[in-house]
Amino acid sequence: MTARTRADLATASRIVVKVGSSSVSGESSWRIPVLVEALAAAHARGAEVVLVSSGAIATGIPFLRLDARPTDLATQQAAAAVGQNILVYRYQESLRPFDIVAGQVLLTTGDLENPTSRSNARRAMERLLGLRILPIVNENDTVATQEIRFGDNDRLGALVAQLIEADALILLSDIESLYTKPPSDPGAEPIDIVAPDADLTGLEFGATVVNSVGTGGAATKVSAARLAAASGIGVLVTSADLVDKALAGAEIGTWFEPAIS
């Protein structure tokens, strides 16, 4: 059943959790076991959990002996090919103590726009969940060109939530909640709840590119959250460090109420 409030996350049957590059790569890779422990707790109570994880390119960069994120597409694809393997390995090693197996799912926009490919992707995801596998989804960067990219994994998280008809979507960020303007600005106030028909005109959600390893930011999370909420999926935007509390239904973050038809 669709999570209509934050509290419903504690009993939601099917949950998609999205985490960004800056939360799980480089010096932040220590957070992977913490994230996995929270996902494993939800899995243990019987929930079906899907993780949408960025971080392949960022994880691959040091293994290619690069000093910064590459700007050309071919090197980005190479970094993704190396980094995706290492990223999933790190997740699987963290999942091992909980006796949970990860399943890698790589997608492009074309996969979700083409009816046949979309049906195939959904069937595979459903079977993985039925087998109690934890799918780890990312953009297929080795084949995705600029024209067929999702743009950011917040949008991918929303589309995956729609694909599998999830009860809730959790978008993990670097801050606890969304604000009316950049949180460092005077007068910035946290946003508690966003109704389906809320007018967000005049609110400042910041730039799209937020760091050297990934894209995203508040604006992309708002766009993705509204996309999912319009489909009847409740969405929570909060800090990656609070994922355990988020999955327990705590009153944290910014909650996007689902549209109820």
User: Which residues make up each annotated binding site for ATP?
Assistant: 18, 173-174
CB 168, CB 3: distance < 8 Å:
yes
Numbers of helices and strands, H then E, in the chain: 9, 8
Distance in angstroms (rounded) separating the CA atoms of residues 66 and 62: 6
Distance in angstroms (rounded) separating the CA atoms of residues 238 and 171: 7
The three-state secondary structure class of 94 is helix
What's the CA dihedral at 108, 149, 208, 254 to 10 degrees? Answer: -20
Phi, psi angles (nearest 5°) of residue 138: -150, 165
User: Any idea which residue has 């390119």 for tokens?
Assistant: 57
Q: Which two tokens stand for residue 239?
A: 């800090």
Annotated binding site for substrate, which residues? 54, 141, 153
Annotated binding site, which residues? 18, 54, 141, 153, 173-174
